[in-house]
A and B are shown apart, each in its own frame.
Chain A
Amino acid sequence: MNDYRPKDKAANFSFVFPALLIFSVFYIYPFFYSFVLSLHRSDGIFTYDFIGLAHFRDIFQDKAWWRSFYNGGFITFWALTFQNVLAFALALGVDKAIKTGKIYRVIFFILPVLSEIIIGLLMRTILLSEPGILNHWLNQIGFGFITRDWLAPNFALLTTALVHCWKGFGWAFIILLAGLQTIPEQLYEAAKIDGASYIQRFFKITLPLLMPVVSMVVVLTLLGTMQAFAMVLSLTRGTGRLTEVPVMIIYNHLRGNQVGLACAEGIILGAVLVIVSFGMFAFSKWIKDKT
């Protein structure tokens, strides 16, 4: 390796250079520029007044910002539990269905392919109390007693979380199914011969071998859900702070030419997500080591 001549090194570098250039221009530079902007009161046009960490101090006192974190956390909680457990259960069921498995994969993957805006608008049309397509269906099948305004203040956040689960379920399903299919069948057969029950096989073979995939799904869910935006915007618009999520606040501040503030919020959100993601990886590693 050390015998490479400078000319060879230059040739090798030239292969990496385009990707490095693109990555630097479109990722590294904007990241640092965002940090610089967060230290300024800036309209993003021509005004740049240095104010140090004042935006960060302001954000820590801002109840609306932390309320949006709670909302994002609530939606994430439902995604991590309900959505992923359901996806795992269905992936386990489909894993063995060799012939029909492909059909299920297509069916469950249709939703993630659709645009979030479309899903939000579609679900809004279904869930609105007037004209109320869902309520109409419920009445038709004799469940009129549970009809309600699904976007009313007391239901809006839960409805948003469930719609998000419905939309995000397909991703988790596909990734978990792919993970399950990498586990060699011989392991299960050997365990069966040794008299292991289904539960034992699940906890001793499936879960430990799938743990890296599960932790990846957990982190992807966390990152994706905490940054949910378009679907929430088209479904409820985050009205009255009830379903407002962090990215929606950042978006509104950018639209309102409060670019410095929006950058500071983006940095705080990014930092929290990085910390939680590393925490999740450490936790899943600990689980894996224990099992």
Chain B
Amino acid sequence: MKNLLKFLSIVLIIPFVLSGCGSQETKDEKIIIWHWMNDRKETFDNLASLYKEQTGLIVEFKLFSPPDIYSQKVIAAARSGKLPDIFGIIGEKKTMSSFIKAKYILNLTPYMKENDKSWQNSFYPQALDVNRFKKDNTYNVEEGIYGVPIDITIMEFVYNKDIFTKAGLDPERPPETFAEFLSYAKKIKETLGINGFISGWGEGWLINALAVEWAINLMGEEKFIQTIEGKIPYTDKQWVEVFSMFLKMEQNGILANNITTMINKEAEDLFSRGQSAFSFNGSWAVNVYKQLAPDLNYNFFPLPKISNEHPVKIWGGAGSSFLINNSSKNKKNAVNFLKWMTAKDQQNLLAKETNNLPSIKNCQEGLTGVLADMIDDLDNLTHPNIWPVNENSRVLEAIISGLQQIVMGLKTPEEVAAEIQKVKERGSPK
């Protein structure tokens, strides 16, 4: 009996002992950073070594992957009070607002404003806006800047220059309008038998981002936001026209087979192997294509416009951001490290090693090739995280599945518009 009780005591004590071990980290002087960015592990470790050389402070980057697991870990750590000094959040701004309201994230505004806002002004405003909550925001979060962007991501069309040349098209002149895009893609399909367009539309966010870019180009950002606010219905003829773009692409036979079941990795692989002339992808693809096909001759270009009435806006903003744990004992050190990490030399190193766009201005000279060309497009960014309101996630689901159904020939744009509006009117349960 005594042995049994001893055994039970040990079994019950083990979890507490183990959880105690986990909290050891925060007691140390070193700065602990959690992230999910597999491709940047080596560069982050190099930056940590460099920082130690320069300041004597130890920084440890801890990688948790895949992103879904990372997200769960961060939520669990927040609820158990074991967040590291610096961490990132994957997800919508709403998720970030929940963390802020629960006082898990430090408001960085005072640090940003130091020295006549020198840190704040060093960033591209579009990158910083993703982490900024304006006064009287819909999330009921106190006004301020809560995160530090470490890079910028934008989503644009991408084309294969060699395929253009083979098809007799000018490789330095990508299409500017939707009509041009369709005719180029059709010509390539007809002359070379290569798919006109490929993208990971099995992942809803890609098809949604493209629809948003066309919607803003056609109706302007103001009307687009009014739709989210419920003032304009999705059955509005301009929305139906946006949905019709996808039908036109399908009807012109330029889309790759199975495009609606394809994940982005699959699409990136096929594009890098020259099996499609066009794709719609993010700036992260520069690194992906470099790894898959170092000799791929390609470039990005802005959305082929469907209207001249409103400017083309590019889906983009901060790619990844770091946030500081409000309860960290290393707050000041953490801020200093992020200031250092977003300084010119470190941003140049990050851009060079990871092929991502830097989050701060005046880094252009360090960029080459495709990335250098993209810098010009940073003035026209748009992103859900900088809109004053965000669409209900049930409506987003309806938009994504509706667009996929149009491409699959299952529904007309009008039917999809009506279904989306129905979901919109149903709203969230109260």
* Interface residues in chain A, defined as those with a beta carbon under 8 Å from any beta carbon in chain B: 11, 14-15, 17-18, 41, 43-47, 51, 54-55, 57-58, 61, 64, 124, 128-130, 149, 151, 153, 156, 235-237, 239-242, 244, 252, 255-258, 261
Output the least CB separation between B156 and chain A (Å): 24
- CB-CB under 8 A from B91, the residues of chain A are 257
- Residue pair A11, B92 in contact (C-beta under 8 Å): no
**Counting CB contacts under 8 A, is B430 at the interface?**
yes
Category for how many chain B residues contact A: 35 or more
Residue of B nearest to A236 (CB): B261
**Counting CB contacts under 8 A, is B68 at the interface?**
yes
Which residues 203-232 of B sit at the A interface, judged by CB distance below 8 A? 203
CA distance A64 to B401 in the complex (A): 10
**Counting CB contacts under 8 A, is B56 at the interface?**
no
- CB-CB under 8 A from A51, the residues of chain B are 429-430
Q: Of B286-294, B368-376, B402-410, which stretch is located at the interface?
A: B402-410
* Interface residues in chain B, defined as those with a beta carbon under 8 Å from any beta carbon in chain A: 1, 4-5, 8, 11, 68, 75, 78-79, 91-92, 94-95, 98-99, 101-102, 201-203, 256-258, 260-261, 263, 275, 393, 397-398, 401, 404-405, 407-410, 426, 428-430
- In-complex Cβ contact of A239 among B94, B260, B397, B429 (8 A): B260
CA distance A55 to B393 in the complex (A): 14
Output the least CB separation between A43 and chain B (Å): 6
- Residue pair A149, B98 in contact (C-beta under 8 Å): no
Output the least CB separation between B173 and chain A (Å): 29
- Residue pair A149, B258 in contact (C-beta under 8 Å): yes
Provided the pairs A43-B94, A61-B426, A257-B91 are in contact, do residues A240 and B260 lie with their beta carbons within 8 angstroms? Answer: yes
Dominant SS at the B interface? Answer: helix
Output the least CB separation between A88 and chain B (Å): 33
Across the A-B interface, how many residue pairs have beta carbons closer than 8 Å?
Answer: 91
Output the least CB separation between A96 and chain B (Å): 43
- CB-CB under 8 A from A239, the residues of chain B are 201-202, 260-261, 401, 404, 408
CA distance A130 to B397 in the complex (A): 28
Residue of B nearest to A261 (CB): B429
Provided the pairs A43-B94, A45-B78, A45-B95 are in contact, do residues A153 and B426 lie with their beta carbons within 8 angstroms? Answer: no
**Pairs A-B, 9 closest by C-beta atoms:** A54-B429, A240-B404, A237-B202, A46-B102, A45-B98, A240-B405, A58-B429, A153-B408, A239-B260
- CB-CB under 8 A from A149, the residues of chain B are 257-258
- CB-CB under 8 A from A153, the residues of chain B are 408-410
- Residue pair B75, A45 in contact (C-beta under 8 Å): yes
- Residue pair B430, A240 in contact (C-beta under 8 Å): no
Residue of B nearest to A125 (CB): B266
- CB-CB under 8 A from A18, the residues of chain B are 8, 11
- In-complex Cβ contact of A44 among B75, B260, B397, B430 (8 A): B75
Residue of B nearest to A49 (CB): B430
- Residue pair A64, B102 in contact (C-beta under 8 Å): no
- Residue pair B98, A43 in contact (C-beta under 8 Å): yes
- CB-CB under 8 A from A45, the residues of chain B are 75, 78-79, 95, 98-99, 102
CA distance A226 to B101 in the complex (A): 39
Residue of B nearest to A56 (CB): B429
Provided the pairs A11-B1, A14-B5, A257-B91 are in contact, do residues A47 and B261 lie with their beta carbons within 8 angstroms? Answer: no
A-B contact pairs, 23 of them (CB 8 A): A17-B8, A41-B429, A45-B78, A45-B95, A45-B99, A46-B98, A46-B102, A51-B429, A58-B426, A58-B429, A124-B261, A128-B257, A130-B256, A149-B257, A149-B258, A153-B408, A239-B202, A239-B408, A240-B404, A240-B407, A244-B401, A256-B393, A261-B429
- CB-CB under 8 A from B5, the residues of chain A are 14
- Residue pair A14, B94 in contact (C-beta under 8 Å): no
Output the least CB separation between A142 and chain B (Å): 23
CA distance A188 to B203 in the complex (A): 57
Output the least CB separation between A38 and chain B (Å): 11
- In-complex Cβ contact of A129 among B75, B79, B257, B409 (8 A): B257
CA distance A240 to B261 in the complex (A): 9
- CB-CB under 8 A from B202, the residues of chain A are 236-237, 239
CA distance A256 to B260 in the complex (A): 20
- CB-CB under 8 A from B78, the residues of chain A are 45
- Residue pair A130, B92 in contact (C-beta under 8 Å): no
- Residue pair A237, B263 in contact (C-beta under 8 Å): yes
Provided the pairs A17-B8, A236-B261 are in contact, do residues A241 and B429 lie with their beta carbons within 8 angstroms? Answer: no
- Residue pair B393, A258 in contact (C-beta under 8 Å): yes
- In-complex Cβ contact of B95 among A43, A64, A242, A252 (8 A): A43
Output the least CB separation between A247 and chain B (Å): 15
Output the least CB separation between B90 and chain A (Å): 10
- In-complex Cβ contact of A257 among B95, B275, B408 (8 A): B95
Output the least CB separation between B267 and chain A (Å): 13
Output the least CB separation between A200 and chain B (Å): 49
CA distance A243 to B275 in the complex (A): 27
- In-complex Cβ contact of A252 among B256, B397, B409, B430 (8 A): B397
- CB-CB under 8 A from B8, the residues of chain A are 14, 17-18
- CB-CB under 8 A from B261, the residues of chain A are 124, 151, 156, 235-237, 239
- Residue pair B4, A14 in contact (C-beta under 8 Å): yes
CA distance A51 to B79 in the complex (A): 23
